A and B are shown apart, each in its own frame.
Chain A
Amino acid sequence: MSTATTHEEATENHEVEHHGLSDKQYIVIALILAALTAIEVSTYYVDFGPFFMPTLLILMVIKFVTVVSYFMHLKFDNKIFSYLFYAGLLLAIAVYCGFLATFKFFLKQG
């Protein structure tokens, strides 16, 4: 009796589909990441003017999210994993930005 109810409970949230992409798609994503890295490195040789910092930061975020979503399967996995990981990430960003702000770190930059 108790095993039957356990199974019901388990299927309530269970994601059946086997997630992930094909190996070819992984290679495509890796190529995109490589291209983004090339743009990043090019900022060292070419003057991007006022777009320098925003370009680098945006590229960094895109690369980060791409690896997390596709290589780490977070996009296809249960949302609980995303909540657990992004909770830590966002908390870290918030707390440490607050910490640097008390040192007037961002004022010096701007």
Chain B
Amino acid sequence: MTIIERPSTEVAIAGAVPVGVKPSEALGVFKRPAASSSWRDWVVTVDHKKLGIMYGVAAFVFFLIGGVEALLIRLQLIAPDGKVLNADQYNQMFTMHATTMVFLFVMPMAAAFANYFVPLQIGARDVAFPRINAFGFWCFLFGGLFLNSSWFLGGGADGGWFMYAPNSSTLFSPSHGVDFWTLGLQITGIASLTGAINLIVTILNMRAPGMKMMRMPIFTWMVLVTQFLLLFAIPVITVALFLLTFQRSFDATFFDVASGADPLLWQHLFWIFGHPEVYILILPSFGIISEVIPVFSKKPLFGYPVVAMSGAAIGFVGWGVWAHHMFASGLGPVSVTVFSMSTMAIAVPTGVKIVNWIMTMWGGKLTFAVPMLFAIGLVTQFTIGGLSGVTHAVAPSDTQQTDTYYIVAHFHYVLFGGAVFGLFAGFYYWWPKMFGRQLSESIGKWNFWLMVIGMNMTFGPMHILGLQGQPRRMFVWTEARAGEGLFNFGFWNRISSIGSFILSIGILLFIINIFYTHKMKKGALASNDPWDARTLEWMTDSPPKEHNFDVIPQINHLDEFFHRKYEQDSATHSVTQVHSADEVMAELNAHPDEHIHMPSRSYWPILLALSLPVIGYGLIYNRMLMAVGVAMVLLTMFGWAMEPATSPDEDFDPPESGDTHAKELVPHG
């Protein structure tokens, strides 16, 4: 039985307070929040697992909002002369759809998995900076809500997700939508930056003993690469967003062509951020399926070091390809050639990964459980998107495709068929670990097939529409100009719109599956290791305890858990199971660690994050409110600074000698 010592709810005895330091009552405003089981615990929590779940829930809600926006777009285009939206609403809809899906769904959902599983996979009890972790989540949530509050305050942003100048200027976009967009993304950017620092330090510094870099699970590797990309890409978009804010709010001239500005400045800054961003979106999903495929093939990942290093290579080369988004902007032949070549080069490490996944499955004992289906779905659908991507690398062909539906088809295959399928593989794979129940396999299969059919019906026809010349952001089409026969705009637009509804039913089934599993209690209770998996996160309870592991394991192998369960005969190379998962855990936990100090709960992360939207609203509506926001930031930072991350020993009730089960100690286990 392990004892976790927790901060006492009572004030520490005066004599026990360390000399000079009185951290528990920072500024005398708040007492340190104590553990409780109510909703308040979620507000003040610094537990990476709870934060991971909150990231996931919030991101999924934004996914549904973004999905409704997508459906409205497809409804508008289902028939000629669509009347569902007017041109202005249509502009807002596609801008907010893309922004929501990229910044408020895929990125935070990857952050959800990273937060929850990276510490478990490397054998840590929490992240390096638990309060900053909490701060990051609240920044993301408040930034996202701030951004979406524009719907009720004069309409959303309407310049397209890359918000090219001069469309983003007050002249062409007079509503406050773009202001909400810049400031909202600025706030979520803080979330990404702090999250990046936190996760990198966690991965570099908090690995279990023996967990060398080349023994880390591939998901952790891909998270590491992703966070480095975020660390260096976020400041670039920060600059661009600041310049745009200065232009819109303080009449600066950065993108004002009349004063001699170069509109390409924005395009460069945006895409210097924007291209690493697409790898930020896809690499976590690559990591997820690199975990799933070996488990369901009963084989180790083929070429583990190659997969890890090709991920790093993608991250590195990803910095040298940004201008391929701008081939049609008149960069000049030298720039176009250079960026065209680097773009073709980056396809190589991606191709290497696809080969590795296929070689992992080759000759394996495949089980087609739902996580595996989604993983295979990613491999196939992403490859289609990757191939159409290579056609963009060829600059002359790209010039033809720029701003047509062909581009829309391409990035939905890589983003939906790639990133989103990977995330769904993650949902089904890790669900039993996170929530202790198995999602229904039969509903899951329906969920998968409807999503595959739906996405191919939705996005497949867009290749044809694009090559036929349908512009990317056209808000109506007319029968008169729709063309003939197989290339009729109307026919393919209708197929696409019907497909989007099939896709939605697929996603609805996922929600139904959750209700079926949990509300109706139909899902089987999960064992600790339901998939016979290979990595550390399965070597603990489902769901894990607050402190993750009773004993931090000593790591001797890549796929440590697998090696504890199985032994290989050196002569015949046959693998036999020598221990069950429960036996492995029983052996590990025979002598649990005592006196585990978990980081203490805090009010400051949510309060500091809450001050940021105040500054945002202040900048848009009232400069006095902005001053209030700045004051709140300063005050909360002082409070934060004076509070130690972990309450010192003196804040805990001392264990009474001989009796480790004293009343304040909460037994776990």
Contacts and interface: CB of A to CB of B under 8 A. Distances in A.
Interface in B575-596: 591, 593
B593 A2 contact: yes
Contacts of B68: none
Contacts of B331: 102
Given A8-B209, A95-B319, A102-B268, A88 B552 contact: no
A102 B325 CA distance: 14
A56 to B, nearest CB: 25
Interface string B322-354: 010000000110010000000000000000000
Nearest to B200: A84
A88 B320 contact: no
Interface of A: 1-2, 5-6, 8-9, 80, 87-88, 91-92, 94-95, 98-99, 101-104
Contacts of B204: 80
B210 A5 contact: yes
B209 A99 contact: no
Interface string B373-396: 000000000000000000000000
21 contacts: A2-B551, A2-B554, A2-B593, A5-B209, A8-B209, A87-B228, A87-B232, A88-B231, A88-B232, A91-B232, A92-B232, A94-B319, A95-B236, A95-B272, A95-B319, A99-B268, A101-B335, A102-B268, A102-B331, A103-B264, A104-B332
Contacts, number: 39
B25 interface: no
A88 B319 CA distance: 12
Given A95-B272, A99-B272, A103-B262, A6 B323 contact: no
Contacts of A103: 262, 264
A92 B331 CA distance: 21
B232 A6 contact: no
Contact of B552 (A2, A8, A95): A2
Interface residues of B, number: 22
A48 to B, nearest CB: 31
A87 B232 CA distance: 9
A99 B569 CA distance: 56
A30 B332 CA distance: 46
Contacts of A91: 232, 319
Nearest to B336: A102
A98 B324 CA distance: 13
A2 B320 contact: no
A76 to B, nearest CB: 20
> What 9 pairs across the A-B complex have the smallest Cβ distances?
A5-B209, A9-B209, A102-B335, A99-B268, A2-B552, A6-B209, A91-B232, A5-B554, A102-B331
A6 B209 CA distance: 6
Contacts of A102: 264, 268, 323, 331-332, 335
Specify which of A1, A2, A94 lies most central, judged by the most chain B CB atoms within 10 Å of its CB: A2
